[in-house]
Structures are given as structure tokens and as C-alpha cells.
């Protein structure tokens, strides 16, 4: 028999991704544990925890007894419990006979002219001398004993030797998390849903998970036969959660879930004391940062320098500004580029002697016998003057009734009883250093609807 060496098979599995994604995760608990022995291929490992592997593999038993997953042989690589899918071939644990049955597949097995072996391993059957065989479970020791058959080259596979055995959980117990593994960690200060299903257990007790709600009420529902879940909130660090369930015979099963949590996200907030200043004046810039490093300040004024990157609020003078609009940008590297963007940045704009005015009518075409409605909104102005054809509106707008010149204001005329008249009106505002801005609008009054043009 030609053998496929384990490194080649391992690379195919990990890099081509031909099997379950769980191979890429850290080792988890599985239903079957320990080793079986074959004179042809040596030890067969039934779970990753027994040899201490960082690849998550193992064999699990479903509530209906079906087996799934992978075992490992140094000689022939992965042995699949999912290869045969038909009802009469799929590997299973028969709860009535307490024996294994069906077939599994050594994926490294090659059918060669000299051995005629294709990797098929029989968990139960009749040997050439007419005796039956199958690994059989012992409820007292939780061990399997007796044999499976792997063909002439593999030979008998012994599930219990003086050096090791295959052990199965005494009752069905699955403990899961909806997230929190290496590829899908929980968000910082986020939550995880822990869920479990049991069959044959009488009670369950929580442990570990200190500092969370998991241990506030340590007694948990057994989850027979449906799944029970609990949400654990406000996670700020990795947590190990454990659940121990007990059956009526006093058998204990403990399952662990190591939940991974993202570190705090990087934060950056950039602001200034004033974003509208006089010409040749300055303002103070502030940046509030957390969980970042290598921060740099750049600007339209030529600043390009490294700045304080420690957590907290820092400041720097902008320097005297003369351009009408200036920008300043702080950019920082994330402390945790594995989970967050490599770089974050904030930009602010500072105007010099800025002056803004909005001036508009509710509608530029007024119905006959209707009112004119005007709106204006100055910003950074010290005074405003209205002039034009609407004499009632002509005035100095140095403040409103609340002594505010800035903000949105409105004005309303009497009813317009002259048809077809047109008005030109403007507002001019003055800024803090004498700069001015002017807006002009045109309004027209419609025809009297009693008359028609011929």
C-alpha cells in the first residue's frame, strides 16, 4: 500500500479548504476522545485535545447517534466520518446495541494494484471466520472496546489497548457560542449568545466567565430536548465560559468555550477653539485620541509634524492665518490593525473673516391679494441693511427683538393689492473687520384673477 504523508495531506486541507472550516480554528471539545490502534497504520487520534493540537478536529455524536467529523492518522492522514452519507453506510452509534456501525473513510487511502485498498474502514460487520465485530460502549467506564476492520493493510483497529482507548461522552451535550472565535471575535463591549442542548442530563451548572452575568445564576436549564441560550453582554476581554452537566447516574460532562473579544477601537476627534477668526490671528487645535499610535499633524499652511499619540486630549496653536479657508488634519495608526483599519484621520477647516448670508422669499411669485414672506439668515455678521422697492422692509437689521443678528429671521408684508408689480430687494451685511456680503432677490405679484387678458 502506498501512503500519503501527513504533511502533504495537512497542506491540502488547510490551504485548499476542502474540509470543514473548523480546521482553521483553535481546538475545541468533541464527543469522542483518545486513541485507537492499528497494526497497519499505528495510532489513530479521535480528537485534537488528546495530542494537544492547535487544529480543531474531532468526532462528534449527534442526538440521533450519527457520527461526524475527522480522526487523524500519521500514516494515512484524515479519516472522515462524513464521507459515506447513505442511511445504511453513514457511521453511527446505535443506542440500542451500544455499538458503532457503518463506514468511515481514510482520505489518504489509494487503491493500488498490489493491495486493492481504497481507504474504506468498516465499523461493524462479519469477519471471514463468521464472527461479528464492532466497537462497543461501556457506560461504566465511558470507553469503547473491541474492533473495527480496515482491510488487509490496516487490519483490526483496536478501540481499547493497555496504552489508550477511545472515550465517548456518557450523554449528549453540545455547548456553542454564536461568535467569539479567532475569525469572528465579539466586538469590544459587545455580547455573545451561549447556547446548549442536552439529552440525558439532569442538571447544568455554569462556571468561569468571571465579571459577567454568566455566573450570577450558576444553575442553568438542562435544555432537554430543545436548545437553551443566554446572552452575555458588555464583554471587554477574552473570557472562558464553562458549563458542567450531570446525568442521573452522577456522570459529569464539562464543556468549555473560549470567547475571543476585540480590543477597544481606535478613536480620534479633532476640533478647534474657533473656526472663524480674524485675519492674521490664530486659534488652538485640540485632538482627543485613544488606542492609536504614530499620530501626525498636517495642514494647508505647511505643517507636517509628529504629535503626541498618548491617550487623552492634546493641543497646539494653529499659527497666524491669512488665507480665507485653512485645513488641518490629524492622522494616526491603529494600535490593533488586525481588527480595525490601519489608519484613521480627522480634518477640520478654519475660516478667516468668514461672512455668510442667506436671503430668499417663500415664493418669488406672489398671488394677487396675498402677502410677501421673506427669510434671511446671516452668520458672523455685526450688522445688516435692507434696501430696495419694498419700503416697509427697508431697515437696519442690527438685531432682532432678542438682540440677535445671527440666526434665521422672517418678515411678512400686507396683502398685495396691486397686480403685476415687481420688486427688487437686497440685504447687505458687514463682518467683524468690515468685509461685506450682499444678496438680491426679485418678487412679482400675479394678475387679479377677475380679469382676463384678450
What digits encode the pLDDT tens for the residues 386-439?
999 999 998 887 655 555 788 899 999 999 989 999 999 999 999 888 888 999
**pLDDT score of 54:** 80
Q: Is the pLDDT of residue 23 over 50?
A: no
**pLDDT score of 109:** 65
Beta-bridge mates of residue 207: 242
Same domain, 406 and 338: no
Q: Is the pLDDT of residue 35 over 80?
A: yes
Strand 125-126 relative to strand 132-133, pairing: antiparallel
Number of domains present in the structure of the chain: 4
Same domain, 323 and 364: no
Q: Is the pLDDT of residue 200 over 50?
A: yes
Q: In the listed set 229, 259, 289, which residue is the last one of a domain according to the structure?
A: 259
**CATH number of residue 278's parent domain:** 2.60.40.1930
Same domain, 208 and 324: no
Q: In the listed set 206, 228, 259, which residue is the last one of a domain according to the structure?
A: 259
Backbone angles phi, psi at 24, to 5 degrees: -85, -5
Same domain, 114 and 154: yes
**pLDDT score of 4:** 41
Q: For residue range 289-306, what is the model confidence (pLDDT) as tens digits?
A: 999 999 999 999 999 999
**In the structure, what pLDDT confidence band is assigned to residue 111 with cuts at 50, 70 and 90?**
low
Strand 381-388 relative to strand 325-334, pairing: unpaired
* Whether the predicted model's global pTM rises above the 0.75 cut: no
Q: For residue range 151-199, what is the model confidence (pLDDT) as tens digits?
A: 888 899 999 998 889 999 888 898 999 999 988 999 999 999 999 999 8
**pLDDT score of 55:** 87
**Domain range for 318:** 267-352
Alpha-carbon span 110 to 112, nearest angstrom: 6
Residue 453 lies in a domain: no
Whose cell is 509634524? That residue is 305
Whose cell is 432678542? That residue is 402
Q: Is the pLDDT of residue 222 over 50?
A: yes
Q: For residue range 119-138, what is the model confidence (pLDDT) as tens digits?
A: 899 999 998 888 999 999 99
Stated as kind and residue range, the H or E segment containing 16 is helix 6-16
Residue 235 lies in a domain: yes
**CATH number of residue 438's parent domain:** 2.60.40.2470
Q: What is the average per-residue pLDDT within 239-253?
A: 92
Q: What is the average per-residue pLDDT within 73-79?
A: 92
Cell of 450: 377677475
**CATH number of residue 200's parent domain:** 2.60.40
Whose cell is 453513514? That residue is 90
Same domain, 248 and 279: no
Q: What is the DSSP letter of 15?
A: H
Q: What is the average per-residue pLDDT within 348-358?
A: 93
Same domain, 37 and 107: yes
Q: In the listed set 168, 187, 222, which residue is the last one of a domain according to the structure?
A: 168
Amino acid at each position: 500500500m502506498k501512503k500519503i504523508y501527513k504533511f502533504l495531506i495537512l497542506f491540502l486541507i488547510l490551504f485548499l479548504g476542502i474540509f470543514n472550516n473548523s480546521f482553521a480554528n483553535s481546538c475545541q471539545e468533541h464527543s469522542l476522545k483518545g486513541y485507537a490502534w492499528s497494526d497497519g497504520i499505528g495510532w489513530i487520534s479521535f480528537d485534537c485535545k488528546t495530542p494537544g493540537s492547535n487544529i480543531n478536529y474531532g468526532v462528534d455524536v449527534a442526538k440521533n447517534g450519527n457520527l461526524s467529523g475527522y480522526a487523524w492518522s500519521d500514516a494515512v492522514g484524515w479519516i472522515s466520518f462524513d464521507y459515506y452519507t447513505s442511511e445504511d453506510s453513514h457511521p453511527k452509534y446505535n443506542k440500542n446495541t451500544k455499538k458503532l456501525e457503518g463506514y468511515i473513510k481514510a482520505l489518504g487511502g489509494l487503491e493500488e494494484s498490489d493491495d486493492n485498498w481504497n481507504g474504506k474502514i468498516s465499523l461493524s460487520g462479519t469477519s471471514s471466520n463468521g464472527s461479528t465485530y464492532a466497537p462497543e460502549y461501556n457506560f461504566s467506564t465511558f470507553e469503547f472496546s473491541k474492533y473495527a476492520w480496515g482491510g488487509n493493510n490496516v487490519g483490526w483497529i483496536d478501540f481499547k489497548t493497555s496504552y489508550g482507548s477511545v472515550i465517548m461522552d456518557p450523554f449528549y451535550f453540545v455547548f456553542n457560542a454564536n461568535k467569539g472565535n479567532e475569525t469572528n471575535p465579539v466586538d469590544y463591549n459587545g455580547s455573545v449568545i451561549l447556547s446548549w442542548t442536552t439529552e440525558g442530563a439532569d442538571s447544568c451548572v455554569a462556571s468561569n466567565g468571571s465579571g459577567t452575568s454568566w455566573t450570577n445564576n450558576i444553575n442553568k436549564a438542562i435544555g432537554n430536548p430543545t436548545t437553551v441560550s443566554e446572552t452575555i453582554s458588555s464583554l471587554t476581554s477574552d473570557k472562558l465560559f464553562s458549563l458542567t452537566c450531570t446525568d442521573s447516574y452522577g456522570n459529569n460532562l464539562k464543556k468549555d468555550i473560549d470567547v475571543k473579544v476585540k480590543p477597544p477601537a481606535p478613536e480620534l476627534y479633532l476640533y478647534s477653539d474657533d473656526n472663524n477668526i480674524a485675519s492674521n490671528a490664530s486659534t488652538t487645535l485640540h485632538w482627543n485620541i485613544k488606542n492609536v499610535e504614530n499620530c501626525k499633524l498636517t495642514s494647508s499652511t505647511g505643517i507636517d509634524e509628529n504629535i503626541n499619540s498618548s491617550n487623552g486630549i492634546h493641543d497646539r496653536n494653529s499659527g497666524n492665518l491669512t488665507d480665507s479657508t485653512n485645513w488641518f488634519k490629524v492622522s494616526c495608526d491603529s494600535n490593533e490593525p488586525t481588527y480595525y483599519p490601519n489608519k484613521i484621520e480627522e480634518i477640520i477647516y478654519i475660516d478667516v473673516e468668514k461672512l455668510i448670508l442667506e436671503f430668499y422669499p417663500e415664493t418669488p411669485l406672489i398671488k394677487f391679494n396675498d402677502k410677501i414672506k421673506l427669510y434671511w439668515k446671516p452668520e458672523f455678521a455685526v450688522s445688516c441693511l435692507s434696501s430696495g422697492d419694498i419700503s416697509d422692509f427697508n431697515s437696519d437689521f442690527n438685531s432682532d427683538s432678542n438682540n440677535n443678528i445671527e440666526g434665521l429671521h422672517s418678515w411678512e408684508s400686507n396683502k398685495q393689492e396691486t397686480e403685476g408689480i415687481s420688486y427688487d430687494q437686497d440685504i447687505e451685511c458687514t463682518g467683524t473687520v468690515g468685509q461685506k456680503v450682499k444678496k438680491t432677490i426679485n418678487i412679482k405679484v400675479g394678475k387679479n384673477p377677475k380679469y382676463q387678458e384678450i
